[in-house]
Structure 1
Amino acid sequence: MLEYIWLDDETPILQQVPVEYSSAAIIFSPFIQMPEGWEKAKRKNDYEHIYPNDDDIRGKGKAVSWKKVMSSCGFKTHAELALALMTSIGALRDEYAREDLADLLHVNIKGDLFYPSEDHISPFHIPSLVKVLGANGSNRFYYAEPIVENSGFLDITEANLRTVLDDAAAELILMDDKMDFVFMSVYDSFINVFLAKDESINEWVRLMDWEARICDESTHISWYT
């Protein structure tokens, strides 16, 4: 089976993946809206930073699109929002950091609206992952975590995907047992990479209602710079 791929920012994504994967997409993880007053009720003091865990997100959270956050911040492109997010977590070198965009994001991310899942695959994507991984008739999916050297096969169910995602380290790869579709988390980011062997990736993104950037031959993992 295919193992996790550490994508560098010097070479286009499609040149770094096995040749049988002819298409790729960058999937944006949704922002997280918790019920009004949720954070205040969780905090033990005014200085405590609270972020919802996976159970909180699945139980009470609602997905908020990048498009909606872009509108509230006055950003014109997904790249500007990505730069704001990456700058705010200190993931960019000084020459790429955009403190002005990060400041605008901070002003607009308040109350019970939270950043997307960082480093991990969003819990909001579990139902669509079940559909994609089983679309070719596969009954099992493969998962691999290189940091902890953990891997294996499980039946394609929401419960099994929840278990894997809840326990996963920052790097994780998922694929159906026929290896037609691949979904990877990306460290220090708020996106995932979706690979497909055929050219139907646009259709999959549309059917799953994912916010995404379809990769061409020149798209890098640092697509926002």
Structure 2
Amino acid sequence: MKNDIFNDKNIYPNGEKIKEHFLGFYDSVFVAYLSFFQVDNHKSKTNNYKKLEKTTFKEAKKEIEILNNIKIPNAEIFSYSNEDYPTDLEIFDDGKVVKWETIIKGAKLKDKTELNKALRTSIGALREIFKKPELSEKLNSFTTQNSIWNPTEGTFDVFSKLGIYRTFKLFNKNEIIIIDEFFEKINSINIAEITEYEFLEKVDFNDYYIYSSDKEILFTIEWDSFFFLIATDKNKMEQIVAAKYFEGFLCDSETTHEWDYLPEELEKLLEIEKNQNLKSDNQKWWKFWK
């Protein structure tokens, strides 16, 4: 075994190939998308179908007192203050999943990689060189016109939690471990004793690791992502895929966390960014010496 991802508190794979990260624990990993959805008779009054919305530094200071001692940053500022966004109970009672494949077709995007780039751009999660505003505009136009709510990044949503609950039930895994982002809070629950909705309430916004007590099935997410990972053995994965609780794709040996960018695409953009930074630094020095 290469390392103990649980004892080392290194569960989510960042910066390496996903399947390689899980070697010794799991031989099959699935990238599961967070869901777009519609809610009966629930539309946005402001045509903002994201939980996150862009705000000004002035407005942000009203919500976060510590910002009053900070100079105005040269960056986009976002706030989770969209009061129109449906509650978990509204989504549970009346929500209907809209598949990524439907969004891709309706927004006239090429594939899942363009949709993921559009989502990441929409929340300011990408450096300037990686942003794709033209894709984000296509996405926003389609979802707004069709009253489709965007998923919220970096958290297990209602539909993913339902799929997780049903997956554990499928394999009679009742003892479940839930751990927060910083490994500070560890909860053990028995899902044989609670309903689906009660399970939804047990998983908090920043709970990033959910697995059966025997560690045979793992669900994990990362803070800026519109997808999460399911890791288990090949036999169980075949049953999970067949159950259709989740939309996504199986990782191959080359899949990384940055799966929406081809390696050569990443390399090209990083080189462009490097050259831009060098040019900017040279200009600063020239102005200094003039």
Q: TM-score range by the shorter chain?
A: 0.7 to 0.9
Aligned residues: 218
Asked whether 1:39 is paired with 2:44, we answer yes
Aligned to 1:119: 154
Higher relative contact order structure (alpha carbons within 8 Å, sequence separation ≥ 6): 1
Aligned to 1:89: 123
Asked whether 1:5 is paired with 2:41, we answer no
The correspondence for 2:218, drawn from 159, 174, 182, is: 182
Once the two structures are TM-superposed, the CA of residue 197 in structure 1 deviates from its matched residue by: 2.8
For the Cα contact (< 8 Å) 1:134–1:176, is it kept in 2? no
Once the two structures are TM-superposed, the CA of residue 85 in structure 1 deviates from its matched residue by: 0.5
- Pick closer, same or farther for the CA change 1:54–1:148 going to 2, 3 Å: farther
Higher helix share: 2
Once the two structures are TM-superposed, the CA of residue 37 in structure 1 deviates from its matched residue by: 4.9
Once the two structures are TM-superposed, the CA of residue 32 in structure 1 deviates from its matched residue by: 1.8
CA separation in 2, counterparts of 1:204 and 1:198? 10
Asked whether 1:103 is paired with 2:137, we answer yes
For the Cα contact (< 8 Å) 2:42–2:86, is it kept in 1? no
CA separation in 1, counterparts of 2:220 and 2:198? 17
CA separation in 1, counterparts of 2:171 and 2:40? 37
- Pick closer, same or farther for the CA change 1:146–1:187 going to 2, 3 Å: closer
CA separation in 1, counterparts of 2:235 and 2:32? 16
CA separation in 1, counterparts of 2:170 and 2:42? 40
Aligned to 1:162: 200
Aligned to 2:22: 17
RMSD: 2.5
Write out per-residue CA displacement over residues 155-210 of structure 1, whole angstroms, 9 at most, x where no aligned residue: 12424421222x331x5111112211001122111111100033542441231342
Query: Secondary structure of the residue that 2:220 maps to in structure 1?
Result: strand
Structure 1 portions without partners, runs of 5+: none
Rg bigger for which structure?
2
CA separation in 2, counterparts of 1:159 and 1:93? 37
Asked whether 1:218 is paired with 2:224, we answer no
The correspondence for 2:237, drawn from 201, 207, 216, is: 201
Percent sequence identity is: 22
CA separation in 2, counterparts of 1:186 and 1:33? 24
Structure 2 portions without partners, runs of 5+: 49-54, 56-80, 262-290
